[in-house]
């Protein structure tokens, strides 16, 4: 619930605000488990619901019409089966939100690397409001690193030209930073004593390669192994057993 940040997320926080003040498209990439979704969840959680309508979508391995129909339902619009009418209805609703209610839709598309190529090609046309003179929708595309490479290809140049912000999250590889991350997580969970030795923390860092999700999986497994044994700490050999169990 309390996101750990030693300043590494400051560029993302700043640029997230940019796209609220001046709506547009942001691209957030990183390896699986690095914390992309967690960061965006934290940023959107603090938004005023009277000014922003947050729409989160992670089901992306579908046809482009299915994606737009999902968006329509999230906006409270009955989705048409015809793409032209579907676009018209969605865009009219977005116009109404912005012009009459002063509400900005913020559409977070997670696992965006799975979006169909057709979506990448026609999305710029969908984003065209009032002869392309207004931006009325903020979109965050979050996905694996190769998503950025895909969007830099010639067929998707129109979409790439609309991306105003590009951020890539990296794993927490530095020893001191990784230790701070783990201790923060344990403290947030209510732990008030030392669970891991210095060598255990290093073992965890190397096994997880600095990815918070993987570190969390190892710790959860180690804790489950420790409970039947009555341990009040996580010895290195038990941590190693948890690492092996997840391989």
Whether 29 and 49 share a structural domain: yes
- For residues 215-222, average pLDDT: 97
Is the full-model pTM beyond 0.85?
Answer: yes
Residues of the chain with pLDDT > 90: what percent?
93
- For residues 44-64, average pLDDT: 95
- For residues 23-51, average pLDDT: 96
Q: How many domains does the chain have?
A: 2
Q: Which domain holds residue 28?
A: 8-169
Per-residue confidence at 68, pLDDT binned at 50, 70, 90? very high
Whether 21 and 53 share a structural domain: yes
Q: Is residue 84 part of a domain?
A: yes
Q: Is residue 2 part of a domain?
A: no
The two structure tokens encoding residue 214: 């993987």
Q: Is residue 80 part of a domain?
A: yes
Alpha-carbon Rg for the chain in angstroms: 21
Q: In the prediction, which pLDDT does 1 show?
A: 72
Whether 194 and 150 share a structural domain: no
Q: Which of 169, 204, 230 is the last residue of a domain?
A: 169
Whether 163 and 224 share a structural domain: no
d(CA 85, CA 68): 11
């Amino acid at each position: 619930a309390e996101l750990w940040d030693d300043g590494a997320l400051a560029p993302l926080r700043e640029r997230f605000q940019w796209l609220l003040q001046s709506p547009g498209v942001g691209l957030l990439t990183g390896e699986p488990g690095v914390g992309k979704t967690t960061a965006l969840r934290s940023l959107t959680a603090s938004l005023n619901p009277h000014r922003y309508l947050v729409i989160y979508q992670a089901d992306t391995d579908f046809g482009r019409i299915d994606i737009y129909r999902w968006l329509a339902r999230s906006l409270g619009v009955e989705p048409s089966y015809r793409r032209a009418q579907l676009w018209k209805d969605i865009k009219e609703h977005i116009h109404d939100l912005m012009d009459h209610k002063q509400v900005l839709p913020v559409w977070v598309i997670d696992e965006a690397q799975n979006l169909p190529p057709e979506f990448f090609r026609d999305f710029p046309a969908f984003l065209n409001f009032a002869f392309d003179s207004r931006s009325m929708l903020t979109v965050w595309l979050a996905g694996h690193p190769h998503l950025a490479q895909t969007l830099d290809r010639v067929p998707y140049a129109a979409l790439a030209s609309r991306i105003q912000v590009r951020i890539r999250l990296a794993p927490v590889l530095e020893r001191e930073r990784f230790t701070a991350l783990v201790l923060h997580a344990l403290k947030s969970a209510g732990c008030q004593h030392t669970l891991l030795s210095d060598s255990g923390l290093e073992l965890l860092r190397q096994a997880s390669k600095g990815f918070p999700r993987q570190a969390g999986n190892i710790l959860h497994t180690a804790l489950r192994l420790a409970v039947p044994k009555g341990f009040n700490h996580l010895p290195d050999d038990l941590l190693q057993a948890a690492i092996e169990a997840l391989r």
